Structure 1
Amino acid sequence: MNHTWHWRGEELIFLPERALWRPKGRELMVADLHLGKAELFQAHGIALPSDGDRGTLNPLLSLCNKLRPTRLIVLGDLIHGRLGLTNSLRDTLRALPELCDCPILLIGGNHDRSSVIEGLPQHPSRRLGALWLSHEPETPAGHEPGSLLNVCGHIHPVASIRQGCDRMRVPCFAYAKDQQRLLIPAFGELTGGHHCDERYRKWLVADNAVVPWLDPTPTPHRTRVAR
């Protein structure tokens, strides 16, 4: 079940696939796929199964097939690092626009910057309607504060749900009103998450649905570690 949210004149649809849909231009947005992460860990002697990319790419292709976007926008960290860019992954990325059946705009993330991805050049942050698209959280340069909604990845937002001694962390969309910023969850299968505290309005992604959530238990603010 999707959730529709409006920010001024923008209609945005939060998808349970951990993606964002903008109906006005039929743009599909995802962030933080971190493809090749298992291979990068293997290069450092850490054993991880190599099928993580399939668990990330197959849902992406299914989503593109279902929605037929005019463009797929990746908000950074398409890959996890240069060492994970195997020949097989390079071939897949080269074919990705054809597999998705739409152009792909890659906004470069911190994990992408040391790599050249054939056919997918990295672009800087940019405006789309009333949105400012970036990988890391940004204040749009040259615009009135709060005039644009910063839609970004990088943080891998999650919410903590507690019941007695039990605790569960689930991906979420998170909106910070004071910064006019929307964090979208990591799309990749092999990704962790950063807890978003009570300052954020949150929508949980669970059981193939997006559900509004109010965290009843405030937690101390912790400094985020860059991903």
Structure 2
Amino acid sequence: MNVPGSADFLWRGYRLQLLGQRAVWDPEQGLLLVADLHLGKAESFQSQGIPLPSDGDGATLNALLAVAHGLGPAQVVVLGDLIHSRLGLTGDLRQKLRALPALLGCPLRLIGGNHERGCWLEGLEQEPSQALGPLWLSHAPEPRPEHLNLCGHRHPVALVGGGADRLRLPCFAYAPAAEQLVLPAFGALTGGHPCPDGERLWLLADGAVVPWSEPSRRSSVSPRRRPGPAPRRRG
């Protein structure tokens, strides 16, 4: 089944689908993979006196439920940073996380990320990096011989255009030398980091995945350097 707006990704003949919903679908194993939801981020900031609206979690969870209900996966695997910090682990969020597997209609698994460190999530064990079929699942990039490393952590974005028209678009990023596919951040309240040279990118725009293979993409999107101030004369 081809999901509308998706793009096929082939690795040594193994087929994955990159979804416009910022997720990866593995039809062979029935796996739905997402990364970096950062639930509770607004509440974490609020606890430190930084006002953020508390509506990001609802949008993130509803998006996850929508893609899961459309595909009917055997399991959903979060590649780390399901939550933002223990400061944001309110009673309401804990209740939502307990109900999430039943709402998804399948088991929910979590590869532990750096933001879960020191947190206890009832009924949801933080698992180490591991292999599932030909895939090596980790939070931070972790190349593994003879496996395709699927990971998150980086929140990859592409810089498209220049000057006032420049856009920062979330993307999938593949590093051929490391055989590593980095997923975009799934959470509604997450930023992003530009990708290094040498990676193949698939942009996310209007719910669709768009391959971007422009050879000169780095030079075409780099902001112009402004001349620095004239040096001061001494004496």
Partner of 1:224: none
Q: How far off is 1:165 after superposition?
A: 4.2
Q: What is the alpha-carbon distance in structure 2 between the residues aligned to residue 62 and residue 166 of structure 1?
A: 32
Match of 1:136 among 130, 134, 140: 140
Q: How far off is 1:164 after superposition?
A: 5.4
Partner of 2:197: 198
Which one-letter code corresponds to 1:39 in the other structure? Answer: E
**Conserved? CA contact 2:44–2:84, under 8 Å:** yes
Which one-letter code corresponds to 1:206 in the other structure? Answer: A
Q: Percent identity?
A: 57
CA RMSD of aligned residues (A): 1.5
The one-character-per-residue Cα deviations of 1:145-187 (angstroms, maximum 9, x if unpaired) are 3x11110000001100014542100000000011111001000
Q: How far off is 1:193 after superposition?
A: 0.4
Residues 1:77 and 2:81 aligned together = yes
Question: Relative to structure 1, is the Cα distance of residues 149 and 19 closer, same or farther in structure 2, using a 3 angstrom cutoff?
Answer: same
Q: What is the alpha-carbon distance in structure 1 between the residues aligned to residue 59 and residue 82 of structure 2?
A: 14
The one-character-per-residue Cα deviations of 1:101-160 (angstroms, maximum 9, x if unpaired) are 1001100000011100001110000001111000000133xxxx3x11110000001100
Q: What is the alpha-carbon distance in structure 2 between the residues aligned to residue 64 and residue 149 of structure 1?
A: 23
SS in 2 for 1:111: helix
Match of 1:49 among 22, 36, 53: 53
**Conserved? CA contact 1:9–1:130, under 8 Å:** no
Q: What is the alpha-carbon distance in structure 1 between the residues aligned to residue 105 and residue 119 of structure 2?
A: 24
SS in 2 for 1:199: coil
Partner of 1:150: 149
**Conserved? CA contact 2:110–2:126, under 8 Å:** yes
In structure 2, stretches of 5+ residues that fail to align are 220-235
**Conserved? CA contact 1:16–1:210, under 8 Å:** yes
Partner of 1:36: 40
SS in 2 for 1:80: coil
Which one-letter code corresponds to 2:114 in the other structure? Answer: N
Q: What is the alpha-carbon distance in structure 2 between the residues aligned to residue 163 and residue 85 of structure 1?
A: 39
The one-character-per-residue Cα deviations of 1:51-70 (angstroms, maximum 9, x if unpaired) are 11001000101111111100
Partner of 2:167: 168
Q: What is the alpha-carbon distance in structure 2 between the residues aligned to residue 8 and residue 15 of structure 1?
A: 20
Q: How far off is 1:16 after superposition?
A: 0.3
Which one-letter code corresponds to 1:150 in the other structure? Answer: N
Partner of 1:64: 68
Residues 1:20 and 2:24 aligned together = yes
Partner of 1:6: 10
Partner of 1:177: 176
In structure 1, stretches of 5+ residues that fail to align are 220-227
Q: What is the alpha-carbon distance in structure 2 between the residues aligned to residue 163 and residue 107 of structure 1?
A: 37
**Conserved? CA contact 2:143–2:179, under 8 Å:** no
Which one-letter code corresponds to 2:9 in the other structure? Answer: W
Structure number with greater Rg is: 2
Partner of 1:104: 108
Which one-letter code corresponds to 2:184 in the other structure? Answer: P
Q: What is the alpha-carbon distance in structure 2 between the residues aligned to residue 180 and residue 139 of structure 1?
A: 7
Q: What is the alpha-carbon distance in structure 2 between the residues aligned to residue 25 and residue 150 of structure 1?
A: 16
